[in-house]
């Protein structure tokens, strides 16, 4: 009977340790997700501002300046998506089934 109680106590201890590790991992992932969401918001804001300014310049007849801003906005988007694509490709190569943006 003592052996069984010791086994149960050991299982309980291991379960608690696993719960603690899970909580720590979830906190780390939550912080990572929040950081990446802020970066996405920042990039979207930059793109939006450039596109609005480009539209304004185009309406005022400054076509070259407008095209330049549109190109800058496209580059921001391209590099943002390129980083995302690189991250997804890395996850696929390493066999990580979950997408961690």
User: Would the pTM count as exceeding 0.75?
Assistant: no
33: CB partners within 8 A, 6+ apart: 100, 101
**Cα–Cα distance for residue pair 91/101, rounded to 1 Å:** 11
**Cα–Cα distance for residue pair 91/97, rounded to 1 Å:** 7
pLDDT at 38: 87
3-state class of 33 per DSSP? helix
Other Cβ atoms within 10 Å of 97 Cβ, number? 6
**What does the pLDDT profile of the chain (101 residues) look like in tens digits?**
888 899 899 999 999 999 999 988 888 888 888 888 888 889 889 999 999 999 999 999 999 999 999 999 988 888 887 766 555 555 555 554 444 44
54: CB partners within 8 A, 6+ apart: 65, 66, 67, 69, 70, 73
* Domain residue ranges of the chain, discontinuous segments joined by +: 2-94
């Amino acid at each position: 009977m003592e052996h069984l109680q010791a086994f149960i106590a050991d299982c309980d201890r291991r379960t608690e340790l696993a719960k603690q590790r899970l909580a720590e991992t979830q906190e780390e992932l939550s912080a990572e997700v929040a950081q990446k969401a802020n970066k996405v918001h920042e990039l979207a804001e930059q793109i939006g501002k450039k596109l609005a300014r480009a539209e304004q310049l185009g309406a005022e007849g400054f076509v070259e300046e407008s095209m330049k801003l549109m190109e800058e906005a496209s580059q921001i988007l391209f590099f943002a998506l390129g980083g995302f694509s690189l991250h997804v490709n890395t996850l696929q190569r390493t066999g990580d089934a979950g997408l961690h943006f």
